[in-house]
A and B are shown apart, each in its own frame.
Chain A
């Protein structure tokens, strides 16, 4: 069973997206909806499958497979498996009696890992994972590995594109 608190969080995310969609539609007109649908096809074919914007810019399992020359089908299978595993891990983590900071951080990381399209600028979602864990560590003490992991997470957004780009070039 999915924990109720997680369902509430996910419902809040859905309502936020719906509310923002209504605001955008009210401001720019109904044409943005068809433009959005058009852009999804473009994003899937040109950006993700063909990698025309540069797969090294996208931090996902799908982009990793494409960067290393894997087929689109293989990339879809591995990304799908990753997303399912992340969802199962998320539910398992939220069923445990861990702190809300831990569960919130896991949710942020899961959101990043679950999508095939996560450019490096979307890694700003790591901040709400790092901040409460750092705060909790300062208040209650850090676990032995925690400072190193948080420091690595802090550097991830600025390092990923460069590292993937070097691998892509060589």
Chain B
């Protein structure tokens, strides 16, 4: 699946009055993958998604979805996308089924196809039992599921998920993750925004870190992690071990300076991960007569990536995204 990218943005700029929501965002999302947009509140994630979904006209730059310009060919884009926002966009007074049939028909399905498709989706999202109830009687998790179903009813090739798991309980979150994986397996391109580094790590093939309305880092989760400091071995020494001897023993394997912790029982050894490395280090320590309680390979988390790139932790910034300018 290495044909034309599903989403391509060049120098996107969007201002809300004096607030600069996007400051020249560049992005290439390959077709058929799960792509994560990662950033704190106010970074511009939602604004970017709204531009791609033809809901917002950019002030500068251009964006294409499946080769169609989001401004000049919005109609072409709309027939190929599905959008799920942070809040369930449903008619509270209609039944779950009536909502899906309505969205299906407005997605240009014929009435009978919309009904068939609605029943399929209700089944797939385990909502068949609640199908005849008004949405206002639904729980939060059921609404999200129905909302997802609604965004899929028109057979989208590209699906935008704007913070799909924000506010969900762990069960519902696991379900959403499972669904994302299924959709990706079926060939859908998914662009997913999240504040949760773990979520991006779990789901996304590639990740763009956004801060201040532009992409500040891009790559696979692994690339991002190694760019930030890569791996290190955590060596826990037995009480009373010779720290100096231990450092000397592991030095040949280190790619940087070795940091013992305050009580001298734990060493953090920067390394380049390789086959059998841990074994060799343990053997070297053993040969040097150092008693070891534990050796584990530690990899930088996306949290570390985020912290080192932006200088603050994800979600620690609380200014609002430009979404209220809708």
A and B found bound together? no
Contacts from A to B (Cβ < 8 Å): none
